[in-house]
Amino acid sequence: MNKYEAEFSNIVRSFRKKHMGKGPSKITTTFCKNWAICEMEGNLSPVERFIASADEGKQALRSARTEMVKQIYRKNPPLEMEEFLGCKFVDLFVDIDIDRDFGMSIFVFDEDLQKKFIK
């Protein structure tokens, strides 16, 4: 990660903590074209890990950690990200592996981040 990708990771962690109560323990960001791809570990709270011990709980958590996260970003546009990157947030793709507590978020922007920040 270069310094821009590292700072973007910090912004993601802060946003998640502010709007979800807990941010991932580790985030690695890679800029690729107009995407900021974030690999996230340590997403689940102790209560969520307990809920995940049942199969029904895993399904509910996966749904919450994908669709609800997208809703949070729709309702609370990530202005800090836009300001930092100097471009507009367009979309978000999210997935999580509950068993591994490993998630991926792909943030889509209206400019090529790779050209802008990777030298």
pLDDT of residue 20: 87
| pLDDT for 118 beyond 90 | no
How high is the pLDDT of residue 77? 94
State pLDDT tens for residues 5-36: 999 999 999 999 999 888 899 999 999 999 99
- Give the integer Cα–Cα distance in Å for 46 and 38: 22
pLDDT tens track for 32-85: 999 999 999 999 999 999 999 988 899 999 998 899 999 999 999 999 999 999
For 12, 40, 51, 64, 119, the CA distances from 59, given in Å and listed in that order, are 24, 19, 10, 9, 41
Does the structure show a pLDDT above 90 at 112?
Answer: yes
Tokens of 84: 């930092």
The structure tokens 């507009």 sit at: 88
